[in-house]
């Protein structure tokens, strides 16, 4: 659901399928994006960490984005990741997203050098914003220190909001630390704070946050979206516990290969298992164990994912 | 000095100058590369960590490389960094370096995802090598865990040498751990192991290594090159101690801004101070303190660097 044209609710950093030669698989990517929208995703944060975006160069990312729009995916539902270590790459991706009318963009800090100062990170964001002026592209900061190592501290977020109030409109907090999420929500009213995990979705909404942008959305958008739509109801806590339990199973495996294994299993389409190196697919035993654990927990992927498999079968048959 | 057309000796990961608008400054870059060759560098490992290469996108890196060759810098002396997190970017940079006849290329592991397996890293290298087959470009692995967090373990290096003996010919070890360097040299005879710091140059040569590829080469190539040319002589230890003392002073500041401050001071050209965010230039006080410490240690940058300043003055006058 969009209010004042800015994102809120549950967004999915869609996993990116690859062909056997490791090139991006446009057809399967489009099918999954369409399925997730049909299943109620409030937006698609394509090219996030779960999407293996940093394993996909700018040229390939831009081609995939254009392909989605050419096939009718609404640009306003897209929040592509524009992260890269080089400002010229980020500027290129941001201009492209802006020209295509995307609903926003998700911006990683530059993540090669470690231990950099807030001043340096501020200058980086200022540099890319000054080179994309007039674009009116909403920028969401992407805070994921467990992977990027470099992050946006609350003080830095405050400086960026003060300096660029019309451009820096929100943040995805994948710190895994809800105290940090709460701090951001309380310190910056009107700023759209998304948790990076559905485990904190109810807490985030109760604190006044905007929603979540979560990896597991690629397979469980329905279950997670229910928390959002019913968060003021009596069933909210149970829905939250249920989603957290499913995530906990998935997270006990390498998450990105696990999500792909689940989609491969649900659709009967093993092509979904492919990841780009340095990631590795789950092996057969891991994959079977994961599927069995999810079965025991009575989990079924969202209907759109399953329907993808039926459509592929029909096309093949 | 080149033996069997492969690098050995002292290579410099040349610092990259930027214009006030932060675009790469081709003129100053060319001048510094020429100065370093004139001062005896055995090769230029342009686009390394010290070069801020991961702050420079593939398009800009390729343009700088072409510019050097158009201006007479010999391709066989160049070992450009081809590191990136996405295999398609790496492949593009490697093909470009190969087409231009570069003496080699320095390959980072993919550094976005942390805690990845040796199998995943092996597959990444295999994927980029299989897409650049027939290029005959010598590939040197770039092990710099303090920055990249992800690295090439000795076991992984062994697997890569076994699988690609004609392609994977050496490694730059910037672990800061000479035990690791020694292990690599002893385990893989004929493999060209370079220390990432001149502090270990004498030890590396005595152990049978190929030399060093070192940040401080941008200002002290003469002092470091002397260790290499005289390493079997009585003066080697003193030369080594002298170079280590200079490095120690520089390393007590953020190294990349410090190297640029030294060049700015020696040439009288403040444009050299510019770094790309997220790095920050030294402030006036830091810069003065650094210059004074080096003066007290009777350090003068290599003559080519100083000559760059005189040439710029003559052109201006």
Measured distance CA(A232)–CA(A22) in Å, rounded: 44
Segment A273-285, tens digit of pLDDT: 999 999 999 999 9
Give the ipTM: 0.95
Alpha-helical segments (H) within B56-153? 58-70, 87-99, 118-130, 145-148
Contacts of B147 in chain A (CB under 8 A): 112-114
What pTM does this model have? Answer: 0.96
Nearest-Cα distance to chain B for A58, in Å, is 8
Say yes or no for a CB contact (<8 Å) between A278 and B86. no
Measured distance CA(B257)–CA(B290) in Å, rounded: 11
CA nearest neighbour of A52 among A301, A272, A211: A272
Say yes or no for a CB contact (<8 Å) between A120 and B88. no
Say yes or no for a CB contact (<8 Å) between A22 and B121. no
Model pLDDT, residue A3: 43
Residue A184 has pLDDT above 70, yes or no: yes
Residue B315 has pLDDT above 60, yes or no: yes
Contacts of B123 in chain A (CB under 8 A): 277-278, 280
Higher pLDDT, A173 or A304: A173
Q: Find, in chain B, the residue whose alpha carbon is nearest to that of A55.
A: B86
Say yes or no for a CB contact (<8 Å) between B278 and A147. no
Over residues B38-50, the mean pLDDT reads 97
Segment A32-56, tens digit of pLDDT: 999 999 999 999 999 999 999 999 9
Contacts of A124 in chain B (CB under 8 A): 277-278
Confidence at B304, pLDDT banded by 50, 70, 90: confident
Name B114's Cβ contacts closer than 8 Å, sequence gap at least 6: A146, A147, A149, B149, B150
Nearest-Cα distance to chain B for A226, in Å, is 31
Distances (CA, A) of B289 to A13, A66, B76, B243: 48, 52, 38, 19
Over residues A99-111, the mean pLDDT reads 97
> Are A107 and A142 within 8 A, CB to CB?
yes
Residue B3 has pLDDT above 60, yes or no: no
SS (H, E, C) A137-171: CCEEEEECHHHHCCCCCHHHHHHHHHHCCCCEEEE
Confidence at A224, pLDDT banded by 50, 70, 90: very high
Confidence at A228, pLDDT banded by 50, 70, 90: very high
CA nearest neighbour of A97 among A109, A86, A106, A110: A106
Can you name the residues that pair with A173 across neighbouring β-strands?
A143, A195
Measured distance CA(A199)–CA(A181) in Å, rounded: 12
DSSP state of A283: P
Segment B140-190, tens digit of pLDDT: 999 999 999 999 999 999 999 999 999 999 999 999 999 999 999 999 999
The widest CA-to-CA distance across chain B, in whole angstroms, is: 59
Contacts of A114 in chain B (CB under 8 A): 146-147, 149
**Residues B267, B80, A119, A102: is their CA dihedral positive or negative?**
positive
Distances (CA, A) of A200 to A13, A46, A154, A222, B150: 17, 21, 18, 16, 30
Segment B242-273, tens digit of pLDDT: 999 999 999 999 999 999 999 999 999 999 99
Name B232's Cβ contacts closer than 8 Å, sequence gap at least 6: none
**Residue of B59, B119, B277, B282 for testing the chain A interface, max A β-carbons within 10 Å:** B277
Q: Under an 8 Å CB criterion, which residues of B touch A?
A: 22, 49, 54-60, 84-89, 92, 109-114, 116-117, 119-124, 126-127, 146-150, 276-280
Contacts of A58 in chain B (CB under 8 A): 57, 89
Model pLDDT, residue B1: 40
Alpha-helical segments (H) within chain B? 26-38, 58-70, 87-99, 118-130, 145-148, 154-163, 178-187, 201-207, 217-229, 236-251, 255-267, 284-296, 303-316
Say yes or no for a CB contact (<8 Å) between A278 and B127. no
Model pLDDT, residue B307: 87
Q: Find, in chain B, the residue whose alpha carbon is nearest to that of A118.
A: B278
Nearest-Cα distance to chain B for A172, in Å, is 18
Nearest-Cα distance to chain A for B254, in Å, is 10
Say yes or no for a CB contact (<8 Å) between A114 and B86. no
Contacts 24+ apart (CB under 8 A), B269-272: B269/B28, B269/B308, B269/B309, B269/B312, B271/B17, B271/B19, B271/B20, B271/B25, B271/B28, B272/B17, B272/B28
Measured distance CA(A152)–CA(B259) in Å, rounded: 28
Measured distance CA(B163)–CA(A227) in Å, rounded: 51
Measured distance CA(B174)–CA(B280) in Å, rounded: 22
DSSP state of A268: T
Say yes or no for a CB contact (<8 Å) between B87 and A277. yes
Summary mean pLDDT of chain A = 96
Q: Find, in chain A, the residue whose alpha carbon is nearest to that of B86.
A: A55
Say yes or no for a CB contact (<8 Å) between B123 and A277. yes
Rg (CA), chain A: 19
Model pLDDT, residue B317: 61
CA nearest neighbour of B170 among B234, B218, B104, B119: B104
Q: Find, in chain B, the residue whose alpha carbon is nearest to that of A278.
A: B120
**Residue of B112, B117, B145, B256 for testing the chain A interface, max A β-carbons within 10 Å:** B112
Contacts of B86 in chain A (CB under 8 A): 54-57, 60
Q: How far apart are the first and last CA of chain A?
A: 37
Name B191's Cβ contacts closer than 8 Å, sequence gap at least 6: B157, B161, B169, B170, B171, B184, B185
Distances (CA, A) of A208 to A184, A193, A211, B310: 10, 9, 9, 62
Say yes or no for a CB contact (<8 Å) between B280 and A60. no
> Are A239 and A227 within 8 A, CB to CB?
yes
B44: helix, strand or coil:
strand
- Tokens representing B268 are 């009288």
């Amino acid at each position: 659901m969009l209010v004042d044209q800015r994102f809120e609710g549950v967004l999915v950093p869609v996993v990116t399928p690859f062909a056997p030669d490791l090139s991006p698989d446009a057809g399967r990517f489009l099918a999954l994006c369409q399925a997730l929208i049909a299943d109620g995703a409030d937006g698609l944060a394509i090219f996030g960490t779960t999407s293996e975006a940093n394993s996909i160069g700018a040229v390939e990312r831009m081609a995939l984005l254009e392909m989605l729009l050419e096939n009718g995916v609404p640009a306003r539902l897209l929040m592509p990741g524009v992260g890269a270590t080089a400002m010229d790459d980020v500027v290129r991706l941001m201009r492209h997203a802006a020209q295509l009318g995307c609903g926003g963009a998700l911006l990683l800090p530059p993540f090669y050098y470690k231990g950099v100062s807030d001043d340096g990170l501020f200058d980086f964001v200022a540099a890319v914003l000054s080179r994309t002026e007039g674009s009116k592209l909403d920028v969401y900061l992407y805070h994921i220190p467990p992977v990027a190592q470099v992050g946006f501290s609350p003080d830095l977020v405050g400086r960026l909001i003060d300096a660029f109030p019309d451009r820096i409109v929100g943040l995805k907090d994948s710190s895994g630390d809800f105290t940090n999420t709460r701090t951001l929500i309380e310190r910056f009213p009107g700023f759209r704070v998304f948790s990076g995990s559905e485990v904190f979705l109810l807490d985030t909404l109760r604190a006044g946050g905007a929603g979540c942008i979560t990896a597991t959305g690629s397979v469980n958008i329905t279950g997670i979206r229910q928390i959002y739509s019913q968060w003021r109801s009596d069933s909210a806590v149970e829905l939250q516990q249920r989603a957290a339990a499913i995530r906990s199973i998935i997270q006990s495996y390498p998450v990105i290969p696990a999500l792909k294994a689940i989609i491969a299993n649900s659709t009967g389409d093993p092509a979904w298992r492919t990841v780009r190196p340095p990631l590795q697919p789950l092996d057969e035993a891991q994959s079977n164990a994961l599927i069995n654990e999810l079965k025991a927990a009575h989990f079924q992927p969202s209907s759109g994912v399953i329907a993808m498999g039926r459509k592929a079968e029909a096309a093949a048959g």
